[in-house]
Amino acid sequence: MLFPTATFAIFFLLVLPLSWLTMPHPHRWRVFIIVASYVFYSWWDWRFVFLLAGSTLWNHALARGIHRTSVVSRRKALLIVALAGNLGALGYFKYYDFFVSSGDNLLSTIGLSMPLGLRTVILPVGLSFYTFMAISYVVDTYRGDFQPVSLARFAAYLSFFPHLVAGPIVRPAELLPQLETPRDPRSVDTSRAFYLIGTGLFKKVVIANFLASSIVDDVFGAPGQHSSLEILVAVYAYAVQIYADFSGYTDMAIGLALLLGFRFPQNFDSPYSAVSIQDFWRRWHMTLSRWLRDYVYIPLGGNRRGELGIYRNLLATMLIGGLWHGAGWTFVVWGGLHGLGLAIGRYRRGADTTAPTGFALWRARIITFHLVCFAWIFFRADSFGTAKDVLVGLVSRWGDPAPLVTWTIVVAIAVGIASQYLPARVPRQLMDSFARLPVVAQASVLAVGLMITSVMGPEGVAPFIYFRF
């Protein structure tokens, strides 16, 4: 069930009033929201709900077991069992074919051939996201940062439909306390919610879908058939597409949660205005960045193992982050490039913490943006062969015709990048102005916005890019 569809609109129009009606009765509300979330999740494939339910029971039981015992060895053993179950499920559904085919290719290169049982495994939508949230819950319990809650509360936390399939990754301390007391409908920031939902729809339906169907899919599908200019514009277009697609989804998720009375953490903060790779990861998919920092980088040693240890930990963390995004070596390379960027940036920065200004600021922004775009080539390419064709095509076919490059595409890319530089006060002013309008005027503005989005967007709505991660 995709957010920008009539099916979801009907679903949400039913869930929203029923959620507020049951809110004064926390137990009834939890049962209702769990059922609604499972209906939402089952829309892709009803069998997936058993995996979600299994993850809920598994992590709840082991978190409570960790909390109830004070024996260090037993606590550690239960943590290992919990992590093994989570990573085992993730590894099977997401990486089985990848590791088996990689192993088969490796054996073939040394003259061995063994039937390794390659099979097509369907990846349950949202598995990576709710698995990371479950790991947070268990690890935070082990660290003593959080006490386990009831099964119903944990089930509501893990399955809450606005974040379920593509984030943001909401940590226990960010959502579970909100489930303890009924929300007050008078405190709902509806202007911000509608602003986020409206802009999210526009970014996904108009910007992301348009760029994908107009140039990105064609060029990355057959880069050898396109000119250097088309390939260059397609790389820029993909940078804007993936930002508009993913931030559009999380904007809608945050807005929908707001209408239900809950606040999610921010997930994007103008990432293409970053002045370094480190700054980029402070702004891009921020909930994942913090998750990788707290549950991978710091456990690996963080900044405590000397300078070489820091570089190793940065690279290892980003390689894991790359593999999390997809079961393919191109994603590993993408993560490795960002890991190298973080390590090199730290080496060059040294003890200098002075922020760049003037010309140096814009030079840092331009260099960082192009380094990110270069890495996006491997993220988008379906193989190393495709990535190689894109890179070769970038330098070898200048002067060839470029019929795919139109002014509409250039304007869409420019709008996507320029939006990163809007002062923070502009959205606030727009939301404040919207909030001061009478209800009828607000409804009219929303109707006009939806009509414009529908007219400008391509026919149909493509799945969100991050659904497959």
Measured CA distances, 331 to 62, 318, 377 (Å) = 32, 10, 10
Angle among Cα 231, 236, 240 to the nearest 5 degrees reads 140
Structural tokens at position 367: 């260099």
Task: Specify whether the CB–CB gap between 251 and 264 falls below 8 A.
Answer: no
Q: Supply the pTM of this predicted model.
A: 0.91
Cα–Cα distance for residue pair 130/309, rounded to 1 Å: 30
Q: Which residue has the tokens 């102005």?
A: 433
Amino acid 103: pLDDT: 66
Task: Specify whether the CB–CB gap between 463 and 165 falls below 8 A.
Answer: no
Orientation of helix 48-68 relative to helix 151-159, angle to 10°: 130
Longest alpha-carbon distance in the chain = 75
Cα–Cα distance for residue pair 392/397, rounded to 1 Å: 9
Task: Specify whether the CB–CB gap between 292 and 335 falls below 8 A.
Answer: no
Structural tokens at position 131: 């698995």
Question: Hey, how many other C-beta atoms are within 10 angstroms of the C-beta on 285?
Answer: 23
Task: Specify whether the CB–CB gap between 384 and 329 falls below 8 A.
Answer: yes
* 336 CA to centre of own chain: 18
Cα–Cα distance for residue pair 75/134, rounded to 1 Å: 17
Exposed/middle/buried for residue 7 (C-beta within 10 Å: 0-12, 13-18, 19+): exposed
Structural tokens at position 296: 């991978």
**4 DSSP 8-state letter:** T
Closest to 281 (Cα-Cα) out of 335, 200, 207, 358:
335
Instruction: For residue 457, report the phi and psi dihedrals to the nearest 5 degrees.
Output: -80, 150
Task: Specify whether the CB–CB gap between 212 and 460 falls below 8 A.
Answer: no
Angle among Cα 92, 93, 94 to the nearest 5 degrees reads 95
**Residues with catalytic roles:** 325
**Residue type for position 292:** L
Measured CA distances, 107 to 56, 95, 101, 384 (Å) = 38, 18, 10, 20
Task: Specify whether the CB–CB gap between 289 and 230 falls below 8 A.
Answer: no
Cα–Cα distance for residue pair 463/379, rounded to 1 Å: 17
Quick one: CA dihedral 280, 286, 288, 289, positive or negative?
A: positive
Between the two ends of the chain, the Cα-to-Cα distance in Å is 16
Cα–Cα distance for residue pair 287/292, rounded to 1 Å: 9
Q: Which residue has the tokens 């526009």?
A: 202
Task: Specify whether the CB–CB gap between 329 and 346 falls below 8 A.
Answer: no
Task: Specify whether the CB–CB gap between 129 and 163 falls below 8 A.
Answer: yes
**Residue type for position 332:** V
Measured CA distances, 311 to 82, 300, 325 (Å) = 29, 11, 21
Q: What is the CA radius of gyration of the chain?
A: 23
DSSP SS3 for 180: coil
Residues of the chain with pLDDT under 70: 1, 99-121, 350-353, 454-469
Amino acid 133: pLDDT: 95
Q: Which residue has the tokens 């550690």?
A: 76
Q: What is the dihedral of CA 79, 85, 86, 89, to 10 degrees?
A: 170
